[in-house]
Structure 1
Amino acid sequence: MANSAEPSSSLSYTSSSHISNGSTNHIISASSASENGSSLEIISLSKLSSNLEQLLTNPGIEFSDADIIVEGNPVGIHRCILAARSKFFADLFKRDKGCSEKEGKPKYCMSDLLPHGKVGYEAFLIFLSYLYTGKLKPSPPEVSTCVDNACAHDACGPAINFAVELMYASSIFQVPELVSLFQRRLLNFVGKALVEDVIPILVVAFHCQSSQLVTQCIERVARSDFDNISLEKELPHEVAQNIILLRCKPEPDGEHNTIVDPLREKRIRRIHKALDSDDVELVKLLLTESDITLDQAYALHYAAAYCDPKVVSEVLGLGLADVNLRNARGYTVLHIAAMRKEPSVIVSLLTKGACASETTVDGQSAVSICRRLTRPKDYHAKTEQGQEANKDRICIDVLEREMRRNPLAGDASISSPAIADDLHMKLLYLENRVAFARLFFPLEAKLAMEIANAETTSEFAGLSSSKGSSKGSSGNLREVDLNETPIMQNKRLRSRMEALSKTVEMGRRYFPHCSQVLDKFMEDDLPDLFYLEKGTPDEQRIKTMRFMELKEDVQRAFNKDKAEFGRPGFSSSSSSSSHKDSVKYKIRKL
């Protein structure tokens, strides 16, 4: 009989359901049975996929037998499923039982599993979901788009980086069908992305041995104006050399590329190597020994891209470089710093006169570059009091404030007219003022102090620790260096005063209304509020109430700053929890 040949019981059941009215001549065709069987198979696989997805999405179903730690977050996994779906994990679980705490699940660290690159938390969840369900979920917008409202998100930094992470995970964890899919997706990026955003695609293609993707990327970069020095810094040596050799070949029209002077290139590279070594003194020596200037070497561009922020500050301090110089690609130093997204470098440049409104050839300002490279997850991340703020967000805030701020009128001197012209008194004023700034908006104050190098200078104890000592006291004797001469002490104190002055200047520049409130407080209320714990209970209560009023004044001023800069969604750590204990800790006492 024809039906007896059907191998699947489900298909037999489907066939019998069509026999009616005792008709023995009604036989389902083989094609109809096949279609019904396929349909049932699809339904079964879909049901299986949904059931397995519950292991990842349903918090009430927690039967994972191991954890993989990704960006500090434990992700529960079922080793049997991963071993069945990936040869990498099958081999891993055979040879490595994972580190486990007492009576805890085995743990594997993602960074230990990857020989190169990184796979973020969200990317790993997408990858893991595919292993469990066979379905690839859409990329989460909070990590695969940028915060530039004008961007189509079809080739911005976060979109490319997220695809790069998934490509890397698919290759390292040996899931070939996903490798093919993300290789095609990255190929689509190559033609329309900015050349600097093609670099991470080329790196992952090289490490994943995707020859087609490598070839496409190399051709795109070789045709671009991306400089050879940056190629050597950001690409594997083999890849960079291939691009440089390709550029040396004659153009299709018979013309040769621009011939470079080997001696000049050697001298420029020496300057860059000195910057890599944080040796600005050597840079000065190299400048005197050759006819190369800092601008000709694009030394400030190089330092802003690759060197320690302190090196950038030291190079700026030489006063020999044009802070608004454009490199061969038409990028200013501030544009390069925006790509790096290091707040201290950006602020250092702005304080030395870098113009935030300058645009690239394609019309991008420093702040738009920064926004195009920043994920919504990072931009909107909440920061608790005293915790490190997200650098991407700070960079955008600083650049937007710089573009919108009004020049401050009048003398920006930090000295109050009521303060006597005495070094110790000025220092005491500055220490207390900065202490209050750190209390009310600590993260912003910390950035200002870093730019001013205030944290590297010794804190002034002086009169603030004398606690009733006679006028003219030298301060707390326990903090006095008996080997320090008066000249050395004066030099040290003046260095501290200059750093604190610059810190206050930064606050005035970016938080003018908050600074006005603090100025008024330092003149009118400071003496009374220093002794919150002293006096009668009623006096203490009045002082505490005044301190809380001050907090509200600062917050209103901060909101006013936000409104003027057009930033209603700005989330700062500046609101203080300001319990009495924190006040005692933060405020310097007379």
Structure 2
Amino acid sequence: MESGHESFAASSNVSNECSSPQEPGPSVDHLSNLCGSLEKLLFNPEYNYSDTEIVVEGIDVGVNRCILAARSQFFHEKFKEQNENSLKNEKPKYLLKDLVRVASIGYEVFMVLLNYLYTGKIKSSPSEVSSCVDNACAHDACRPAINYAVELMYASSTFQIKELVMVVEMNSVCHMYSLRLEINILLELGYQRYLDKFVDKATPEDVIPILLVAFHCKSNQLLEHCIQRVAQSDLDNATLEKELPHEVLTDIKSRRLKSRQGTEQESLEEDSLSEKRIRRILKALESDDIELLTLLLEESNVTLNDACALHYAAAYCNSKVVNEVLELGLGADVNLQNSRGYNVLHVAARRKEPSIIMGLLAKGASVLDTTRDGHTALSICRRLTRLKDYNDPPEQGKVTNKDRLCIDVLEREMIRNPMIGSMSSSSLVLADELLMRLLLFENRGNYVKLC
């Protein structure tokens, strides 16, 4: 096995296909040389003989249609269609976002996929997109690591590379646990126990993207495990309704109801009535209807705190609505913990919306409060942010990326808190500069670009 790669060609299945008793297959050296030669077509400018381009995140990637068409039925069908550039005798150009409409596929994932199509090898996970900013994180279940694996599995399924979907399910987990096992050994051991560890280790919120890709790719075993984990979690119904497909949501609700069969009917009816009132409050928030929200609160004995309405608004509603509710002073406690032990600032940190975070801090949200597993809003934000996004240098005339801005705002608040030890003064200066820039965009009416 070559350093930095894990070859699918190493599996016993592929070996059996490539050789027979009558005709011995090519040696490992010959296969390695062939892979290296094909790899030049992708990464060596001297061998740029591409006949088409695919634009990924604004970057033109040259590809050879014959290789992609031979390796992927998706590309075979796509390249048979007429391209407007082909009619002009120009090199055909495709936008990846037009080829893949359900979810986005990033540049790094696309290059890993291309490398597999050209060479049969899976490159190691690029740390800049599969690792988070938190130095204390093992990167075995943080959101960038999960998103990278999910994205690669989705791309493999979309481009109809069936054997890679299976390899990704196994291989991505191996990378995350710093294991370097040959694919044929994994096939013998079975990959389910690795996936079990992966799904069980992630937070319930972070299981949802795994569930969605399993649902889309029809990976039933993985889907079942994800559904079990979410059904047994304390994620509320309002969150699940926003995140999950209807049939999965119905399945989870059914499982939860069965687990409550021993509960008295009267208690269930009271919960049902309360849920209806809470649902109306949340709908008013989502509709940006503050007048209706105020009316519902006056007519009902359910408060914003009872509904954890500010948590919901911080997660899903327009930032202006959140700040308007804060300004009206409708009795919402910004430091109230929901059933998962998250306060509103924790939820806002997961969303990574600077104006909501700033509004909560201005109203007294505690930057020191921790979740049940010991995370502050700052550590949550760091574990959601890719190295690539945090280290992306600001460009003149462009809005600073929200990931970096949220972290700097929270760091600034931590520095100002007398209970926190001294931190770098340069970080404080940078955070203040970013806040001034944010306010400048708001004053000019350009802040909408951040939303």
What's the TM-score once normalised by structure 1's chain length?
A: 0.63
Structure 1: how far apart are the matches of 2:393 and 2:317? 29
- The residue aligned with 2:177 is none
| Secondary structure of 1:69 counterpart | strand
Q: Are 1:230 and 2:239 matched, yes or no? A: yes
Structure 2: how far apart are the matches of 1:385 and 1:118? 26
- The residue aligned with 1:268 is 278
- Residue 359 to residue 136, structure 1, CA distance change in 2 (3 Å): same
Instruction: Compute the displacement of 1:211 (Å).
Output: 0.8
Task: Determine which of 310, 320, 325 is the counterpart of 1:310.
Answer: 320
Instruction: Compute the displacement of 1:406 (Å).
Output: 5.2
Q: Are 1:281 and 2:281 matched, yes or no? A: no
Would you say the 8 A contact 1:183–1:213 is kept in 2?
no
Q: Are 1:300 and 2:327 matched, yes or no? A: no
Instruction: Compute the displacement of 1:366 (Å).
Output: 0.2
Higher mean alpha-carbon deviation, 255-264 vs 192-201, is at 255-264
- The residue aligned with 2:414 is 403
What's the TM-score once normalised by structure 2's chain length?
A: 0.81
Instruction: Compute the displacement of 1:119 (Å).
Output: 0.9
Task: Determine which of 195, 198, 203 is the counterpart of 1:189.
Answer: 198
Structure 2: how far apart are the matches of 1:335 and 1:266? 26
Instruction: Compute the displacement of 1:395 (Å).
Output: 0.6
- The residue aligned with 1:446 is 437
Q: Are 1:379 and 2:379 matched, yes or no? A: no
- The residue aligned with 2:127 is 141
Tell me which amino acid in the other structure corresponds to 2:110. Answer: F
Task: Determine which of 348, 369, 373 is the counterpart of 1:337.
Answer: 348
Structure 2: how far apart are the matches of 1:183 and 1:127? 14
- % identity of equivalent residues: 59
Q: Deviations over 1:388-421 (max 9, x none)?
A: 11111111111011011157xxxxxxxxxxxxxx
Q: Deviations over 1:104-150 (max 9, x none)?
A: 42111111122412211100000010000000000100110111111
Structure 2: how far apart are the matches of 1:101 and 1:272? 52
Tell me which amino acid in the other structure corresponds to 2:140. Answer: D
| Secondary structure of 2:320 counterpart | helix
- Residue 174 to residue 332, structure 1, CA distance change in 2 (3 Å): same
Q: Are 1:54 and 2:40 matched, yes or no? A: yes
- The residue aligned with 1:180 is 166
Counterparts of 1:345-364 in structure 2 under 5 Å? Answer: 345-364=356-375
Count of matched residue positions in the alignment of Structure 1 and Structure 2:
389
Structure 1: how far apart are the matches of 2:133 and 2:85? 39
Instruction: Compute the displacement of 1:182 (Å).
Output: 2.1
Counterparts of 1:82-161 in structure 2 under 5 Å? Answer: 82-97=68-83, 99=85, 104-161=90-147
- The residue aligned with 2:399 is 388
Task: Determine which of 141, 151, 156 is the counterpart of 1:170.
Answer: 156
Tell me which amino acid in the other structure corresponds to 2:158. Answer: I
Q: Are 1:325 and 2:311 matched, yes or no? A: no
Tell me which amino acid in the other structure corresponds to 1:294. Answer: L
Tell me which amino acid in the other structure corresponds to 2:252. Answer: I
| Secondary structure of 2:27 counterpart | helix
Structure 1: how far apart are the matches of 2:251 and 2:208? 14
Q: Deviations over 1:328-351 (max 9, x none)?
A: 111000000000011111111101
Alpha-carbon RMSD: 2.5
Structure 2: how far apart are the matches of 1:385 and 1:266? 49
- Return the index of the structure with the highest Cα Rg: 1
Structure 2: how far apart are the matches of 1:389 and 1:103? 40
- Residue 144 to residue 256, structure 1, CA distance change in 2 (3 Å): farther
Instruction: Compute the displacement of 1:37 (Å).
Output: 4.7
Counterparts of 1:194-233 in structure 2 under 5 Å? Answer: 194-233=203-242
Structure 2: how far apart are the matches of 1:215 and 1:392? 32
| Secondary structure of 1:68 counterpart | strand
Q: Are 1:291 and 2:301 matched, yes or no? A: yes
- The residue aligned with 1:429 is none
- The residue aligned with 2:186 is none
